Amino acid sequence: MDAYKQSASSLLDTYTSFCFEVLIMAVKELTILVVCSLIVWTGSEIFTSTDKISHLFEEEKFLLDAFSLYIDAEEEIVKKMKRDLLLLQLGTYSDPVDPEQIKDPVAAFILLIRLRSEWMSIEKYTSRSLSEYNVYQTVLEYAEIPQVEDLQGAALGLISLQELYKLYPHNITKETSLNADQAYFVGFVAYNENKFQHAFLWFLYSLGRLAEYSTVTEKELLHYLSDSAYHFGNLPVAIYFSQQLFNLDPTNEEVKVQLDLYRFLLYQKTSNKDIFTLINESSNSYEALCRGEVDERTSKRQMALSCRYSTGGGNPRLMYAPVKEEVEWDEPRIIRYHDIISDRDIESLKNISRPLLSRSETIGGVTNIRTSQSVFLDEGYPVVARVNQRIADITGLSMKSAEHLHVQNYGIGGKYEPHYDELDNENERIATFLIYMSDVEIGGATVFPKVGVSLKPKMGSAVFWYNLHKNGNVDLNTEHAGCPVLRGNKWVANKWIHEFGQEFRRPCSLSYWE
């Protein structure tokens, strides 16, 4: 009997230990416990012994006690999940009701981080459930959860905004601030991209926001501050932060060696780059135009241009409702048409496009020169057919060989670097009709670097220009770009019109200069 008690006690300890593991893993099925009991008695035919049957009273008590313990542990897990849910819900109270109001790129970046964090917290619980009715796991399979690549891309978007618009971390976070961990992430992305000045400034920003709950440590930040300053080319600053790091840990031989190396190199170097002042070394006319640095002569020339009501060359559909035509530039001729699409049609195009959007590509495929998502819409949608007819009426060109309407939405720091619209084939894009489907508060202008023209997006308006001269040659002055969106949500629709079918609508010229 004593041997049986010792054996039962040993089995009870083993059983209890296993059940605790089950509780930690949040197993919800009672059948697991039943299986445990069956495993304990495997090989014993209980029905053949009355004595063993009598001991089932003890086994029954043990089973019920274990089940009670299981329920208590499950209740503790539920309490913890509810606490975590409350914390996650508290973080959503400041969100705008209308998704269109997410105009601040920093707020958008924080939303990506938070949703990623929420998903990982919830997935930690739900993935342990063995229930075949685990609905949440099924939902997660179809949910659009931000991936690490999304966070990195968003951070790069913020950095590109800083580079082009010459913004410091405290400038870009003026309306929405980042905590120490979020700023560290942006700095780390910049560091890995060899953008050491921006990395340094973000690490410095993070250092000033360290709190008890921060995951990043002061040692980590001091290390990267020193290393970023060194790679950028400012040894005094690198030495300063290395010394701060050494003061925190005087026994760290690696830091001591690094500090000695920096001091040695400082004696051999005559000058150091200013790491605290942003200087855009690669600044060009495209970037200057995006910043609003328009030549005064260009402004005066634009002021001399005209605007008028147009019937599209006598189109019957425009005789009683002419369009408002404004000449934005004369050579190449760039025309803006105002109020050519209704707010209702704009919303229809957005609603159709949203579930179909995918990463935009250039002729050579997906590249970093274009940061947006887009979709081609055919005339199967009545609103698209109306827009295409409107374009044909205004331009007087045939839409038969034109491409489908191309709807785009730009992301964080969304841009399209300088490019030409013409295609390198036999049926080139003779003209571009660009519709603005939203206003953009800051940034997002369409600029023509070769002629110094900048066009601000205006919802409901469109700009039109010819990419080719009448002789078929590319008009090199039509090189254009979409500036990064600093604040706002930029939607556009492009209609690229091909030269086939335009022979009698825009006659060719034999002159080299036309």
**Residue 490, C-beta contacts closer than 8 angstroms, at least 6 positions apart:** 409, 410, 414, 438, 440, 444, 457, 482
- Gap between the Cα atoms of 488 and 102, Å rounded: 7
pLDDT in tens, 217-253: 999 999 999 999 999 999 999 999 999 999 999 999 9
Give the β-pairing of 462-466 and 429-436: antiparallel
Closest CA to 262 of 244, 232, 237: 237
pLDDT: which is higher, 292 or 5: 292
Separation between Cα atoms, residue 199 and residue 191, nearest integer Å:
5
Give residue 359's pLDDT. 85
pLDDT score recorded for residue 233 = 94
Contact 393, 317 (CB under 8 A): yes
**Residue 279 confidence (pLDDT) above 90:** no
Give mean pLDDT, residues 267-287.
Answer: 83
The whole model's pTM is what?
0.79
- Write out pLDDT tens, residues 436-467: 999 999 999 999 999 999 999 999 999 999 99
334 — phi, psi (to 5°)? -120, 120
CA-based nearest residue to 62, from 42, 43, 34: 34
Whether 18 shows a pLDDT value over 50: the answer reads no
Helix extents (H) in 233-342:
235-248, 253-268, 285-290, 296-303, 316-319
pLDDT tens digits along 169-191: 999 999 889 999 999 999 999 99
Predicted local confidence at residue 37, as pLDDT: 44
221 vs 312, higher pLDDT: 221
The mean predicted confidence, pLDDT, of the chain is 84
| pLDDT band, very low/low/confident/very high, at 313 (cuts 50, 70, 90) | confident
Structure tokens belonging to residue 418: 């300088």
Checking if the pLDDT of 128 tops 80, the result is no
Phi, psi (5° rounding) for residue 220?
Answer: -60, -45
Which H, E and C letters describe 374-435, residue by residue?
EEEECCCCHHHHHHHHHHHHHHCCCCCCCCCEEEEEECCCCCEEEECCCCCCCCCEEEEEEE
Q: What mean pLDDT do residues 58-77 have?
A: 85
Quote the percentage of the chain above a pLDDT of 70: 80
> For residue 84, which phi and psi values (nearest 5 degrees)?
-65, -40
Size (the chain), residues: 514
When pLDDT is cut at 50, 70 and 90, the band that residue 27 belongs to is: very low
Q: Which of 410, 406, 436, 407 is nearest to 488 (CA)?
A: 410
Nearest in space to 335 (alpha carbons), one of 448, 465, 450: 465
Q: What is the pLDDT of residues 155-167, one digit of tens each?
A: 999 999 999 999 9
Six-digit token pair at 18?
A: 């296993």
Angle between helices 135-142 and 105-126 (to 10 degrees): 140
Residue 39 has pLDDT above 90, yes or no: no
| DSSP 8-state class, residue 43 | T
* pLDDT band per the 50, 70, 90 thresholds, residue 512: low
Question: Which uninterrupted H or E stretch holds 373?
Answer: strand 372-377
Lowest mean pLDDT among 84-98, 214-228, 324-338: 84-98
Spatial separation of the C-alpha atoms in residues 457 and 361, rounded to whole Å = 22
Half-sphere exposure of 117 (CA within 13 A, CB side): 15
Please give the DSSP secondary-structure letter assigned to residue 472: S
Is pLDDT larger for residue 143 or for residue 15? Answer: 143
